[in-house]
């Protein structure tokens, strides 16, 4: 059986940061879940601690997955869904910001005419 070598705190943080602190399987993030690092190709099957083999997972998904190798599509669908949610959230935020600034500019210009 391969020897499991622990990950440094820096490596863990780098993987969390790369994955935007979101579980790549279900899309959840803290404080709703505790995040851990998962080996895509399990150590018991010869997987390494190379960053390409590490993924951010919540503890629930990680324990449910166990030492299995999942198909590539299992994370691709979540990536697309998270990207769409991110776009929708940020598009709304940009729209609200634009509206607020438009109102401020309009009121400023309206005041400016009366001066």
Give pTM, 2 decimals. 0.58
More confident position, 113 or 82: 82
Say which residues have a Cβ less than 8 Å from residue 60's Cβ, sequence separation at least 6. 26, 33
Residue 76, pLDDT > 60, answer: no
pLDDT band with cut points at 50, 70 and 90 for residue 115: very low
Say which residues have a Cβ less than 8 Å from residue 74's Cβ, sequence separation at least 6. 25
Tokens 């729209």, residue? 95
Q: Which CATH fold topology does 1-70 show? A: DNA Binding (I), subunit A (1.10.30)
Residue pair 50/37 in contact (Cβ under 8 Å)? The answer is: no
DSSP reduced 3-state for 38: strand
* Residue 6: predicted pLDDT: 87
Say which residues have a Cβ less than 8 Å from residue 68's Cβ, sequence separation at least 6. 42
Domain range list for the chain: 1-70, 73-115
């Amino acid at each position: 059986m391969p020897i499991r070598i622990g990950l440094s705190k820096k490596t863990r943080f780098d993987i969390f940061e790369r994955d935007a602190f979101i579980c790549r399987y279900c899309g959840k993030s803290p404080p709703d879940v505790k995040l851990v690092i998962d080996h895509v190709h399990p150590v018991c099957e010869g997987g390494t601690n190379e960053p390409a083999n590490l993924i951010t997972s919540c503890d629930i998904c990680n324990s449910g997955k166990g030492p299995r190798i999942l198909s590539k599509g299992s994370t691709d669908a979540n990536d697309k869904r998270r990207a769409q949610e991110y776009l929708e959230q940020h598009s709304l935020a940009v729209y609200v910001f634009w509206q607020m600034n438009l109102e401020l500019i309009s009121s400023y210009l309206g005041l400016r005419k009366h001066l």
